[in-house]
Structure 1
Amino acid sequence: MSVSLGEEVMLLSLDDESGVAKDRASAGWAVAGGTLLELVVRDRVRVASGKVSVTDTTPTGDALLDERLDRLGEWVRRHRSAKVTDWLAKDQPTVVRATVRRLCERGLVVEEKHRTLGLFPVRRYPEADCTVERELRDRLHRVVVQGARPDNRTSALIALLHGARLYGIAFPDVPRKEIEPRMAVIAEGEWAADSVRRAIRDMQATMAAVTAATILAVT
């Protein structure tokens, strides 16, 4: 089963048993960044100098991506200075919900409804089918821990995870000091077209700034 970069980040962030999202704030930005980057990789969107533009409105055939592409196109038309940071800030809450819904539709997670203190509704999304996430984690382990050569999509995902500092959700059993240098090398590598690398640098800068602000807010 083929899943998008944003869906991969979402799968990594959801606890398999409890269905609770880990590192919720940073993961949310990475899901938004991954969805945008997927559109860049598919030549529908261009990101350059911190701005985003739609270059091709042809549907991708993926319902989640096509919905984001339509929303982005409408937003860009209304904003002369269409900054990546502004789009990610606007899209992040809705794209996370849309991505989780898509994972439910695919049968990869299942929605469970609970009430906290018997009053407040809470939704959780435990794993229903582990095959996609298992393959994803095996692929990341081979590249980051074992040193295998990454393909373009794996490199893009690693760059997103590194930019958002999501080391713990990707490698929960490996000390950060053992994987961060390797992820940094991959993120800066000459593995993709210039347009994709520029997009990743812009999104990394955004996610790093938001992550740092989040850390300061809770310390």
Structure 2
Amino acid sequence: MTIQDLTLAEGLLLLALKDDTGERTGSFVEYALAGSALAELVLRGVLAEAPDKPAHFILADDRPTGDRYLDDCLAVIKEKGVTSSPKKLIEKLAGKKHLTVPLYEGLINRGILHRQTKKVFFFFDRKVYPEADPTHEAALKAHLEEVMFGNSEVSARDTILVAFLQQTELLRRNFDKEKLKAHKARIKEIAEGEHLAATATVETIKAVRAALMTAIIVAAVIVPATS
């Protein structure tokens, strides 16, 4: 298996779920999933940078992707307006909790996760998603370790995942803290896209990363203020 066997959102979600309990960890993961959907649509050529409006999108390919999660996200993006800022699109997608349903369903149908119902305070039911087949997550982790701690070539997908895992505090939850500390400089370079050639797609991906950072900062300020 390679990292390409999972979408960006699937990879991020697997690393956000506790293997045994299926409970989600990390901070602002819903924003990172939204950013992952945008980045995936860019990498697939569905969205492209607007020629007259840097760091904004145009719809380059209106055909269905064949992935229900991505297609549902794209429908929301069209409703919001493709030319909206990436930050606003991330916030819009993150605010629609139902969008993650097909993301979980896809992993369940492939035998990677399974669904359980857990009682909360003896009265309320909550769905959790423990791992059914650990090989996919293990392969993803091994790949990212080679990228971060070794000298493996860095792809756009690697850059996105490392950046988003870093922003959601999932790097330290999944990888050895001493290794992360020892390779801090390389990880920073990867997350900032310094190992990628300067192309229109890469610049658009960087814009998504920047938008995610801003959306998380805004959410972090608003949540305590309104709680």
TM-score above 0.5, yes or no: yes
Aligned to 1:31: 33
Measure, in 1, the Cα distance between the counterparts of 2:11 and 2:24. 13
Structure 1, unmatched stretches of 5+, are none
Aligned to 2:211: 206
Work out whether residues 104 and 111 of structure 1, in 8 Å CA contact, stay in contact via their aligned partners in 2.
yes
Aligned to 2:75: 70
Which residue of 197, 203, 216 corresponds with 2:202? 197
Identity %: 26
Deviations along 1:110-134, whole A, 9 cap, x unmatched?
Answer: 1111121111221111100111111
Deviations along 1:55-78, whole A, 9 cap, x unmatched?
Answer: 11122232322332233233326x
Q: How many residue pairs end up in the alignment?
A: 215
Matched residue SS, 1:201: helix
Which residue of 59, 81, 84 corresponds with 1:82? 84
Whether 2:14 is the aligned partner of 1:11: answer yes
Work out whether residues 87 and 215 of structure 2, in 8 Å CA contact, stay in contact via their aligned partners in 1.
no
Matched residue SS, 1:51: strand
Measure, in 1, the Cα distance between the counterparts of 2:27 and 2:100. 10
Work out whether residues 9 and 31 of structure 1, in 8 Å CA contact, stay in contact via their aligned partners in 2.
yes
TM-score (norm 1): 0.84
Q: How large is the RMSD of aligned CA atoms in angstroms?
A: 2.6
Work out whether residues 42 and 205 of structure 2, in 8 Å CA contact, stay in contact via their aligned partners in 1.
no
Deviations along 1:110-160, whole A, 9 cap, x unmatched?
Answer: 111112111122111110011111110000001101232223322332233
Deviation of 1:165 after TM superposition, in Å, equals 4.8
- Say if 1:180 and 1:144 are closer, same or farther in 2 by CA, change over 3 A: same
The residue type equivalent to 1:13 in the other structure is A
**More deviation in 3-12 or 164-173?**
164-173
Work out whether residues 115 and 127 of structure 2, in 8 Å CA contact, stay in contact via their aligned partners in 1.
yes
- Say if 1:214 and 1:170 are closer, same or farther in 2 by CA, change over 3 A: farther
**More deviation in 46-55 or 143-152?**
46-55
Work out whether residues 48 and 59 of structure 2, in 8 Å CA contact, stay in contact via their aligned partners in 1.
yes
- Say if 1:109 and 1:117 are closer, same or farther in 2 by CA, change over 3 A: same
Structure 2, unmatched stretches of 5+, are none
TM-score (norm 2): 0.81
The residue type equivalent to 2:92 in the other structure is K
Deviations along 1:80-128, whole A, 9 cap, x unmatched?
Answer: x511111111112343333222222222111111121111221111100
